[in-house]
Amino acid sequence: MQSFRTELENPIVERDIIELEKKIRLFREGSITDEKFRSLRLARGVYGQRQQGVQMVRIKLPYGKMTLQQWKRIADISDEYSTGNLHLTTRQDVQVHFVSLEKTPELWAKLEQDDITIREACGNTVRNITASDRAGIDPEEPFDITPYADAAFRYFLRNPVCQEMGRKIKIAFSSSDKDTAWTFMHDFGLIPKVKEVNGKTIRGFKVLVGGGLGAQPFLAKTAFEFLEEELLIPYIENVLRVFDRHGERSSRHKARMKFLIQKIGMEEFERLVKEEYKAVKVKQVPVDAAAWPVTVPPVPGAIPAFDIKDPKKYEAWKATNTFEQKQAGYFAAYVKVPLGNISSTISRQLITALRPAVADDVRVTANQGLLLKYILPENLPYVFNVLEAAALGEPGFDSIADITACPGTDTCNLAISSSTGIAAALEAVITDEFPDLVYNKDIKIKISGCMNSCGQHGIASIGFHGSSLKSAGKVLPALQVLLGGGIVGNGVGRVADKVIKVPSRRGPDVLRTLLHDYESNGQPAELFNEYYDRQGEKYFYELLKPLTDLASLEAVDFVDWGQAEQYATAIGVGECAGVVIDLVATLLLEAEEKLQWAAEAIAGGAYADGIYHAYSSYVQGAKALLLGAGVSCNTQTGIINDFDKHFVETGKFVFPESFKTRVLQINGNEPTERFAEQYFQEAQTFYNEAQVFRQQSNEPVQA
């Protein structure tokens, strides 16, 4: 593998990319284990696919924003390194697939030329921070949350407190109480609020913590009804420090923050968070929202001649896909992107044609579409015409006809059955049999290829996730049907109920049955979830039960949507989070590496970062020795306590008080230069003695 040179202005980014290239080379040479390398590449946005030998690269777009030039850069990257397809995700990222591992550093370097990163797009990190796509133009927002989402993104990118947590962290900002970012299903959910204090308007956020979907959905709990804006980022850091230290690390399925809160209770969780306050880097992080660059409307220019071929469709598109911004005289337009897939060719075509009519600020939406901003009313027909020419002018954005689906068995290791195939079949049912529902934005249909909920089925009015059934000794693809999920508002949400499981090929019949029943028995103006509540889960189970009959199966039922061969379950190793690394030698190497990072940070005046790196070195070194002694560890707190039990109380290591007291100085001291240097030197001494102990493994060691 040949090395390459980057031409980036940011030395931190450049070092990151060169480090990835170096680690790929060492991995290929066999110097780095597969487990270690997997966690490293995941934190750099490189994710293994279902297909062996190729990677999915996740491009991190904070709150879904990309300029037209960034969009073009991503399209060009997909042509050069991928398949020419851009997949828009429910986390407002863009994914490209079938990328050669050796090409990922070069790909990353080219993205960074337009300030686009893949860093921490996967792995046990703070993932992409999402936000309401209308932020900044929402007529109902108390204030624009975009500067705050951006500040949080930049603060936690490469931050030592969130590089190797037990699991991923997801943060979402909603623009108003309508909660269109679904704050209730995130580790951190933020909703903007204002209040009057002594005649002055104060900005802040309602803060929710501990939400999540997956196989066991949890609604987030309210931590603050109002937290002042400058206290928000320090609070998030406090929580991350607690999660890093106390969160589960062995059982991946119990490692999200929601499980930690469930285990210890909200009262104890809040106590631990307050304990960390003294040690955080800064006690306030003010965001100068007034200095935030305002999105500039497009410079008025000549619009090419065009002709609306279907005026009726245009009116439907205008009614369902556009809205008037809070900035008087401008409209925004949504683009319905089927299954979130848009080609690089179409992307460049749109960029060129739309440039005279839209702002240089395009948002990827959380339902896998696009939002175009600052369109003059007289230019709406032109924008529609451009979209229609690209086969993207369909009305019904965010309606029942706009189905959200993850990639499923197309590329994902964890998928059990097809998401994209059944999504297309369900959209055909709406289009062909219920065309008037294109105006219905109450009912949401969401599909995931497995129970992990990347397609957000757990908060859908009508949700499906991939599963399987057995009949006469053969396996067939199936769908778990969920009903009744959705947004209530102001941080309150509904988790859908699992109602029944049916063969996948009967998914369209499930939808037909539900919609016909709703049309026939729903009360005037009754919303779908209101109807579901009135009738009850058992009613819908009995309604759909005839579709579960396996006695009438046909050959086609054993073939999944979009496939030609008989179905067989083929689930790979999931990479939604990094794999825990338990090799003693590797852990000691990591402890040494963290000490190097600590020294660099302290030398550069980043004392809090240096202290945290030193803390991580303590934990990694202790874990290495414990594992060498056959003691398994599942939390950092457990590691610290177990080291006292197995190494200090037995006299193998000696501390003035205890290992725990030594290590947890981290949250009892301000992050000053003096403490940083002292803590680093003590961590360095411990690491040196740990190495001696591992080699000799007999005599007690003075630390």
List, for residues 395-410, the tens digit of each pLDDT value: 999 999 999 988 777 6
Going by C-alpha positions, the residue among 51, 104, 53, 54 that lies closest to residue 77 is 104
pLDDT for residue 215 = 82
* CATH number, domain 138-291: 3.30.413.10
Nearest to 386 by CA among 360, 344, 347, 341: 347
**Amino acid 566: pLDDT:** 78
pLDDT of the residue at 577: 40
Would you give the DSSP letter of residue 52?
Answer: T
Q: Could you give the dihedral angle defined by the CA atoms of residues 296, 301, 306 and 312, in that order, rounded to the nearest 10 degrees?
A: 40
* DSSP class per residue in 288-333: -GGGSPPPPPPPP-PPPP---S-HHHHHHHHHHHEEE-SSTT-EEE
Listed as ranges, residues in the chain with pLDDT below 70 are: 1-9, 35, 410-411, 413-415, 564, 569-583, 697-703
Q: 311-389 adopts what CATH topology?
A: Sulfite Reductase Hemoprotein; domain 2 (3.90.480)
Residue limits of CATH 1.20.120.330 in the chain? 584-702
Distance of CA 75 to the CA centre of its chain: 22
Range list for CATH 3.90.480.20 in the chain: 11-112
pTM of the predicted structure, to 2 decimals? 0.91
In the chain, what percentage of residues exceed pLDDT 90?
Answer: 75
For 584-702, the fitting CATH number among 3.40.50.360, 1.10.3720.10, 3.30.470.20, 1.20.120.330 is: 1.20.120.330
Check residue 674 and give its pLDDT. 97
Strands (E), 504-636: none
What's residue 9's pLDDT? Answer: 66
Side chain identity at 93, as an amino acid letter?
Answer: D
Residue 390 near residue 349 (C-beta atoms within 8 A): yes
| Ramachandran angles phi, psi of 228, nearest 5° | -55, 145
**Protein fold of 11-112:** Sulfite Reductase Hemoprotein; domain 2 (3.90.480)
**Residue range(s) in the chain whose domain bears CATH number 3.30.413.10:** 138-291, 404-558
What pLDDT does 14 receive? Answer: 84
Instruction: Assign 3-class secondary structure to 380-441.
Output: HHHHHHHHHHCCCCCCCCCCCCCCEECCHHHCCCCCCCCCHHHHHHHHHHHHHHCHHHHHCC
Q: Which CATH superfamily is domain 404-558 in?
A: Sulfite Reductase Hemoprotein, domain 1 (3.30.413.10)
CATH 3.90.480.10 segments of the chain: 311-389
Name beta bridge partners: 404: 446
Q: Which residues contact 644 (CB under 8 A, 6 or more apart)?
A: 658, 659, 660
pLDDT of residue 579: 36
pLDDT of residue 208: 98
